A = this chain, B = another copy of it.
């Protein structure tokens, strides 16, 4: 199955656009784990166990592993997700970006080494830097468009021919990148107006939305602005071919809404995993109520 097919199936099966981000910060681990790097695998697997039936995707952030030399633990966690929740989409959040030969190695890192279904990448180097990702069969390439941080407008909102750079990225995704492979975009929950403008351009292309929970993005505004509906899909000339990702019903589709810290660190007690489940349940319910 391709990335788009797997994502559609995951939305269907879980009834959820929630993605749990695996950002294991040892300093915030439950007291019993003693802030230990060795506990990263145990911590993440416990979160996976209690939230896997509530999500369309898991998104490990590789920086948390790379900073402490825990790549082997990340490999084990990815393998665990694939084995225990084979229908959940696995997104490696790496925001890679390099020229051709090197980009091909990063694609190998994400898709082969970690077995991810999709990886986040940076568009600054241009289409040829994205091709090794896009050209990998059945894998997803999730390109940064408008990020959730306070300073994201500095370059992303520079005006070019009357529209901001991030919309140029969205337009390029909808026209060029989609013809090469299975493309998606990142738009932060902290910018719902911008999310609506991107949605109007990209039809029913999936959008990964970080920034709810600890970063303060509003779930209702995100779903209103970003969920994929027939009207928005029909309104754009850049809608993809009917054979691709177009079987989604009118609501509860189109978004991969990420929450990390609010779920992972719901409790620092021995009940951390069940507390994470409670927050994940409430977040999924809030997303579905807004749909």
Taking beta carbons and an 8 Å cutoff, which residues of A are in contact with B?
Answer: 23, 61, 63-64, 66-69, 71, 75, 95-100, 102-103, 105-106, 108-109, 112-113, 122-129, 144, 147-156, 158-161, 165, 168-169, 172
Contact = CB atoms under 8 A, between A and B. Distances in A.
A169 B155 contact: yes
B99 A98 contact: no
Contacts of A128: 149-151
A124 B186 CA distance: 13
A69 B113 contact: yes
Nearest to A124: B124
Contacts of A155: 123-126, 165, 168-169
Given A67-B108, A97-B97, A97-B122, 7 more contacts: A67-B109, A67-B113, A95-B97, A95-B122, A126-B155, A155-B169, A158-B165
Contacts of A165: 155, 158, 165
Contacts of A156: 124-126
